[in-house]
Amino acid sequence: MNVLIIGSGGREHAICWTIANSPKLTKLFAAPGNAGIAELAICLPISVEDNQAILRAVHDHSIDFVIIGPEVPLVNGLADLLQSNGIAVFGPSKAAAQIEGSKGFMKDLCAKAGIPTARYARFTDIEKAKTYVEQYGAPIVIKADGLAAGKGVTVAMTKDEALDAIDTAMRDKAFGNAGASLVIEEFMEGEEASFFALADGETAIAFAHAQDHKRAYDGDKGPNTGGMGAYSPAPIITPALQDDIMQRIILPTAKQMVKDGTPFRGIFFAGLMLTKEGPKLIEYNARFGDPETQAMLPRLKSDLLDVLHKTALGRLNEVKLEWHDCAALCVVMAAKGYPGTYQKNTVIKGLDKAADLPNVVVFHAGTINNDGAVLANGGRVLGITGFDESLKKAQQNAYRAVDAIDWPEGFCRRDIGWRALQ
Ligand code: AMP
Ligand code: GLY
């Protein structure tokens, strides 16, 4: 079949790399893709937010199956548009994508289905929000309801911080409309993990798990980012805990969404807090994680294209996942200054040397090809994944490849995986 992947990040490169050798693949397209994806797919210069242009491309190139990577097109209803035109799509409908697009929707769903999560209240009135914080005190967590590019959450350790966060969102409108409505919730303590499960309505199966590093600098210091590295599996998630997560969180979610008339077809990405009382949901995303996917997919033995296609067609009951018995670890290389301002169009060298090392894959995120030279044109630019029989060896492989890359304007963390390896 002809396949189109929507997106341009390391996640989308990892998906392309994994399906490139599928016996089911005829031609692979990406919109818009990046310099790494261009080695595997025909890149179409179309914005992920231009639904109509994507639909035209689907017709022009006789695309049979579309895989949507990022959240924005999901929340914009791209899956609905393609499906109503008879195209198979991996990724949930606009209504189902609200589990990521609206924190309030997600929390109300948890309440209805009895899913363990932080206690919460929703506010559209600034004074009522502040009174709630005055009553409950700190630590407390303030969240903009809508998509805020990962910036809408404040974990406030003091009451003043919480009140400031309310002002930032509601009075100063720092997140635009996304902050017009707030979720204020209980602070949870524990270790975080990312859990992924495929669903096609009521049927849901565990996919894989990972842990990521959100802070920009070593020692989990500095500003929050989209993720500076990840490893999979997450050693803290035992088979028994995985079972518990499926029974208490994923399956009740899938069931409730069917009941509510918003069945979920795609991949649940559950951000979990593993608390003393058991796993609790922090948030849902309605898509693969980035960089988690760069650490999960090199471990997959099954044909990913077949798996995603069957999920899209509502035939998940036919899917049986097989994994290599190995660990993988992805180090993100970002432009110096990220997540703030950074330089663009700097030259990256040594990519082939890095990719030639054993047990390494080099995934591209913000890169472009300029007459044969690879240039950085984004914040997160590369995801270097190492894999091996142990996480320690996977980490060594990844950093050996990082060291082969010659890009003075880039940086990475040197401690990805520390928690699992300590
Ligand atoms: P979110 O965008 O909802 O994933 O939140 C971003 C980060 O804030 C999470 O990865 C957690 O580290 C933290 N966080 C969110 N909600 C809570 C909570 N209720 N308790 C403690 N930490 C939280
Ligand atoms: N790594 C977190 C995310 O994909 O949102």
**Beta strands 229-232; 204-212: pairing state:** antiparallel
| 43 pLDDT higher than 90 | yes
Helix orientation angle between 304-312 and 10-19, rounded to the nearest 10 degrees:
100
Kindly report the CA angle at 321 between 316 and 322, in degrees rounded to 5?
165
Q: Give the pLDDT confidence of 159-196 residue by residue, as tens digits.
A: 999 999 999 988 888 888 887 889 999 999 999 999 99
263 C-alpha to ligand 1 centroid (Å): 25
Residue 291: pLDDT above 80? yes
12 lines ligand 2 (CB under 6 A): no
Q: Say if residues 181 and 124 touch (Cβ distance below 8 Å).
A: yes
Which ligand 1 atom lies nearest to the CA of residue 214?
A: 10
Tell me which ligand sits closest to the C-alpha of residue 330: 2
Question: For 37-48, what is the mean pLDDT?
Answer: 98
Per-residue pLDDT at 178: 81
User: For residue 110, what pLDDT band results from cuts at 50, 70 and 90?
Assistant: very high
Question: Tens digit of pLDDT for each residue in 377-411?
Answer: 999 999 999 999 999 999 999 999 999 999 999 99
Residues in the chain, how many? 422
Question: Which residues, at least 6 apart from 84, have a Cβ–Cβ distance to it below 8 Å?
Answer: none
SS3 of 340-378: the string is: CCCCCCEEEECHHHHHCCCCEEEEECCEEEECCEEEECC
Share the mean pLDDT of the chain: 96
Enter the pTM of the model.
0.95
**Does residue 416 surpass a pLDDT of 90?**
yes
Average pLDDT rounded to a whole number, residues 144-155: 82
Which bound ligand lies closest to the C-alpha atom of 71? 2
258 Cα to the center of ligand 1, angstroms: 27
What percent of the chain has a predicted confidence (pLDDT) above 70? 100
- Cβ of 227 closer than 6 Å to ligand 2, yes or no, is yes
Q: What is the pLDDT, as a whole number, of residue 133?
A: 94
Centre of ligand 1 to C-alpha 155, Å, is 7
Residue of higher predicted confidence among 150 and 126: 126
Question: 3-class SS at 140?
Answer: strand
229 alpha carbon, closest ligand: 2
Q: What separation in Å is there between the alpha carbon of 234 and the centre of ligand 1?
A: 18
Share of the chain above pLDDT 90, in %: 90
By the 8 A CB rule, do 37 and 16 touch?
A: yes
Best CA proximity match to 281, nearest among 113, 118, 90: 118
pLDDT at 151: 76
Average pLDDT over residues 355-360: 97
Determine the Cα–Cα distance for residues 367 and 223; give it in Å rounded to an integer.
23
Answer yes or no: is pLDDT of 72 > 80. yes
Position in ligand 2 atom list of the atom nearest CA 287 = 4
Q: For 126-137, what is the mean pLDDT? A: 93
**Strand, helix or coil for residue 23:** coil
